[in-house]
Structure 1
């Protein structure tokens, strides 16, 4: 007699006490090292990244190793905790290579530590050694694919370690480049011979993009073609899923800042926030943010538990959260009136980050197509 199928586990969308404690630590650090004037000044300089902030976040708090097992020097936590960090980074749009290095690159390497033909993490090996360095915060790595690459999209842009890849996020500040090729995945030093990283001028100055050109470069082989494709797909899936938490943080800040401002800004001897038309707009935005929080938390929980529905949860989160972040940022700019259009106010940073995030790891339209395919629904 066949045993009845077990119902799927109910996702846990609530924050644990440990997650709230982590949030408090990260928020306090960012309030001290990445307030609005500091971030605005950094984006107007040649070096938007604050190495001291990264060291405090990655090493002091230990955020860089949240996804890395303890045997490799990490925290042995999960995607839920990493999502909390990204929420707080989204709330400040702080320039930090957390998503690209501590999530996407780290998750890609984690997929290799148990892959057939790759030395297990407990026994050493190049992937495990690099993971230990990423967990300690002593080095950063990025996956050398265009920032717009969706999970399951074209991954190996190069046939060999020769050629050009454009639009790689955080490549200009990375120590190691994980380069997928038709021959497999390689770890290439960012300053190695034959490697040229040329910074681009992006819309979002808090997350620089760069063009990578390889000419006769050499690297450490990490995996063959099949294992490489699986690992890159896993890294991009985690990146897309946790990007929703960053987008949630953006939307939360925009809503909170807009409510605060409209309470203080007076016209006709009344706070402008008391006008019915504005109250309706902010109430609608609040409903969108609450829904975005549910979608983002569901994606983080699915990734953390290894749910077979993780690809669907990620696609749903990205299909919804990217639009909410953009809408919240647009409302923030507009409802701030004249001050919202100035460079001195940080609203433009949130709008640019939200716009850039809306095409990162696949557009909302691409993820809606994925939802239709995974749920066996008619395509939009």
Structure 2
């Protein structure tokens, strides 16, 4: 099988890259900053001029109606420059979760704002007790007549402090359910990765609105996990590709013993291994994006493989890049540390590589086979 992008998709890639590259980033945050912040002007242009926020939103809700392949292209290009914006959390993950729920009112109420980029919707799923589980949840939902109230703690809420609305996963007597809460509750956190805004959500009898059927959120969350894994894989490929390019360029000018270190055979071998890994990650990322977009029977398998391999590849590239940059690679003024921190946060978001490999074993029916 030969996978190739259409001319329209390549035009999208070129347009996003041209817009993002104008900033020359990634932006080096203030070392005293306590939270990561969005580049609001860049997001306005991405949403307004290119329509990035509405790529996977159907036209009936004000979107462009393309799909997750196009969203993956944008995620990869934003990853190249470590852009801090609500594309991943709002325009991809939250939008797809809403589309996966059987709630016409929630779709018509929230999706148009997401598609235009004027509204940011965050997803509060992970908890200190369980990370992105599709079966258990410590946050509880209590019903009082027609009203719902939530109590619990949420972590790793992408764009939570900037959100206009938050989708919260909580447990009722009938199972996992999805709720909408007011955006005034989230508090910004201070993550190690200052290129990705995240927040914590503290709920105590917080009023909420049920989205979809009570106790029926698990299938939509499973779909959401696949979407998030594929999008993060694409983002990591973009970041790893550019950082490897920067590293290759630098070893040609950094000298030791009177020679550019890029001329040493050992350095060439290290970079060649990284190049092979990045290109393999790209192929796997594209396969996962296509499978998830088309709802292929093996979409979950490809998503799990892509999340695992692409995250680990980017982490390797980030670490090797710091080593090969030498002293300048450990300064705050250089972008090297941003890649290491972004790779670390991407590794943990929506499940670690180990967790996705375990998920892949379950999907393939291999769990416990070694013991047997």
Following superposition, the deviation at residue 34 of structure 1 comes to: 5.8
Inter-CA distance 204–343: structure 2 relative to 1 (3 Å threshold): same
CA contact (8 A) 1:34 1:94 kept: no
Q: Any idea what the Cα deviations from partners look like across 1:261-320, whole Å, max 9, x if unmatched? A: 011223344321111000000000001001100110011000111101100000111121
What is the CA distance between 1:377 and its match in structure 2? 2.6
Identify the residue that residue 115 of structure 2 maps to in structure 1: 135
What is aligned with 1:164? 153
State the alpha-carbon separation in 1 of the partners of residues 39 and 178 from structure 2. Answer: 30
Inter-partner Cα distance in structure 2 for 1:146 and 1:258: 34
- Structure 1 pair 153–169 and aligned structure 2 pair: CA distance change class (3 A): farther
Structure with more of its chain in strand, by fraction:
2
**Selected match of 1:275 from 254, 264, 274:** 264
Q: Specify the SS of the correspondent of 2:293.
A: helix
1:111 corresponds to which of 100, 103, 126? 100
Note the C-alpha offset of 1:152.
3.4
Q: Specify the alignment match of 2:179 in structure 1.
A: 186
RMSD of aligned residue pairs (Cα, Å): 2.0
- How far did 1:153 drift? 5.5
CA contact (8 A) 1:170 1:209 kept: yes
| 1: CA distance, partners of 2:327 / 2:187 | 36
Q: Does 1:303 align with 2:285?
A: no
Q: Which residue of 1 aligns with 2:6?
A: 16
Q: Is the 8 A contact 2:61 2:111 kept in 1?
A: yes
What are the within-5 Å matches in structure 2 for residues 1-380 of structure 1?
10=1, 13-33=3-23, 35-36=25-26, 39-41=27-29, 45=33, 48-112=37-101, 115=102, 118-119=103-104, 125-146=105-126, 149-150=131-132, 152=134, 154=136, 157-160=139-142, 161-183=150-172, 184-191=177-184, 196-378=185-367
For 2:245 and 2:256, locate their aligned partners in 1 and report how far apart those are by CA, in whole Å.
20
Supply the distance in 1 between the matched residues of 2:134 and 2:13 (Cα, whole angstroms): 31
TM-score normalized with structure 2 length: 0.90
How many angstroms does 1:378 deviate by? 4.9
| Mapped contact 1:252–1:289 kept (Cα < 8 A) | yes
Q: Secondary structure, in 3 states, of the residue corresponding to 1:227?
A: coil
Q: Aligned residue pairs: how many? A: 355
Report the Cα offset of residue 207 of structure 1. Answer: 1.1
1:5 aligns to what? none
* TM-score, length basis structure 1: 0.88
Deviation at 1:150, TM superposition (A): 4.1
Distance 2:31 2:17 in 1: 20
> Using a 3 Å threshold, how does the CA distance of structure 1 residues 30 and 301 change in structure 2: closer, same or farther?
same
Q: Gaps (5+ residues) in structure 2?
A: 143-149
Q: Which is worse superposed, 174-183 or 243-252? A: 174-183
Contact 1:262 1:271 in 2 (8 A): yes
Gap change, CA 1:43 and 1:79, over 3 Å in 2: farther
